[in-house]
Amino acid sequence: QVQLVESGGDLVQPGGSLRLSCAASGRTLDYYTVGWFRQAPGKQREGVSCILQRGGRLYYADSVAGRFSISRDNDNNAVYLQMDNLRPQDTAVYYCAAGGATTNNCLLERYYTKDNWGKGTLVTVSS
């Protein structure tokens, strides 16, 4: 089991940027596929971006492609989500999860066990 803690959420104006961090302990995060998910008020949780294990491919939801960027920091056992040109519809609690998906299935919540999720960080995009 890997323990995950998200950070970096904040209130930001439309068009602004934030970088979210997913810090891991207990296991080496590079051994896992890591996904970023978000849940807006009144909506189901959705996949935003994911990165396959061991330097594998990156995937993005259509709604964030070209604005968000996922990356690994193996020295710090972390994964980041750089979010640029933020929109009000990006407002949500953002979660990271670690799992074993090997394709773009890593954008689907069911490919992550319930024990390998962080508690989330709130991103609010508003003027």
Q: Are 105 and 34 in contact (CB under 8 A)?
A: no
Write the pLDDT tens digit of every residue in 55-102. 789 999 999 999 999 999 999 999 999 999 999 999 999 999 999 888
Flag whether pLDDT at 1 surpasses 90: no
> How high is the mean pLDDT of the chain?
96
**Residue 120 identity (one-letter amino acid):** G
User: CA triplet 80, 47, 61: central angle to 5 degrees?
Assistant: 85
